[in-house]
Structure 1
């Protein structure tokens, strides 16, 4: 069975959804949830799911090998970013080359890059007058929202849609398709 580590910075609804998706199968499971925020709600979700969690600070993440070492100690095969807002450092990219995936809440390259996450993206979609948006599942490289695109899923944006309306539509896509795309990638390992 493959082991997944999920990195998250906030609420953790995607992390919980991914854990639930894999809980019923035998291919993989979420074995570790990591956060850069000690007050992140995702840590409470991890406790509720009985999944080990860990918190790290900026210095540990960027100036040590502790995170790749922790993942290796836990036998982690695959890394998922689910609302994790820091750029992944080179040591982690090297350790998990081609095995780190992220979901972005727009159709990249539109509305991507540093500082473009969550509601900021949904507001940008509405302000730009986009007629569609969606999610982009992509491999992670050393550039914000860079990396090879694995899949895009689309939804229409109505003329009267607010950023909150767009967020609901995009979250529904994330919950439905992000775990499926992760599973496809794990099947290739």
Structure 2
């Protein structure tokens, strides 16, 4: 079972998903702490209601000071809209979810509806999400799980976002369970970097 830190910037929908699956016994994890870079993030309120310690931290240094008080196996970026730089003992232990099939529509500036808008403008008939390990460059770490979704010719940005988020709700827990099963090094060693 993975001891998880969850970093978020917004509503906490991914935190909801984690919490529900942990309660159902389908996610091999335990949330130790939740940190947001946004003091008004709804996800912080949800974390407190669920009984998780919840904090605000402006940057990686403050975040790492908070995480130091907890036994953390993995840091989950759950809609966290800043580049997170972990302390040495957590390098290679940061997992992110991105709302496209990497290497498409990714990198600095590509997040949320910006991704879905670009997918729609390009006329893509498929999109999806990618769960990957995060490193010092946006969306470059080893891929753990990808899920594909079909798109309709007339799908709006909002409809694309809904389809991709439904896939994210399956992909992120699946990826964490795989990491728990296979170990972190497996994913870093399977790619040639």
Tell me the TM-score normalised to structure 2 length.
Answer: 0.88
Given that 1:35 and 1:55 are in contact with CA atoms closer than 8 Å, whether structure 2 keeps it comes out as yes
1:13 matched to 2:42? The reply is no
Aligned-residue Cα RMSD (Å) equals 1.6
1:47 matched to 2:43? The reply is no
1:82 matched to 2:78? The reply is yes
CA distance in 2 between partners of 1:68 and 1:174 (Å): 26
Compute the displacement of 1:12 (Å).
Answer: 0.8
1:178 matched to 2:172? The reply is yes
Deviations for 1:84-126, whole angstroms, at most 9, x for unmatched residues? 011122xx15221221111100011111111111111111100
Matches within 5 A, 1:118-137: 118-137=112-131
CA distance in 2 between partners of 1:97 and 1:134 (Å): 26
SS of the residue corresponding to residue 73 of structure 1 reads coil
Compute the displacement of 1:21 (Å).
Answer: 1.2
Tell me the TM-score normalised to structure 1 length.
Answer: 0.90
Compute the displacement of 1:69 (Å).
Answer: 3.9
Given that 2:6 and 2:76 are in contact with CA atoms closer than 8 Å, whether structure 1 keeps it comes out as yes
1:67 matched to 2:63? The reply is yes
Cα distance, 1:108–1:143 mapped onto 2, change above 3 Å = same
CA distance in 2 between partners of 1:187 and 1:3 (Å): 14
Deviations for 1:145-185, whole angstroms, at most 9, x for unmatched residues? 11011121101111111101101100100112211111211
CA distance in 1 between partners of 2:177 and 2:93 (Å): 12
SS of the residue corresponding to residue 68 of structure 2 reads helix
Contiguous gaps of at least 5 residues in structure 1: none
Cα distance, 1:68–1:80 mapped onto 2, change above 3 Å = same
Structure 1 ranges of 4+ moved more than 2 A: 23-28, 66-70, 186-189
Contiguous gaps of at least 5 residues in structure 2: 184-193
CA distance in 1 between partners of 2:175 and 2:145 (Å): 8
CA distance in 2 between partners of 1:97 and 1:57 (Å): 20
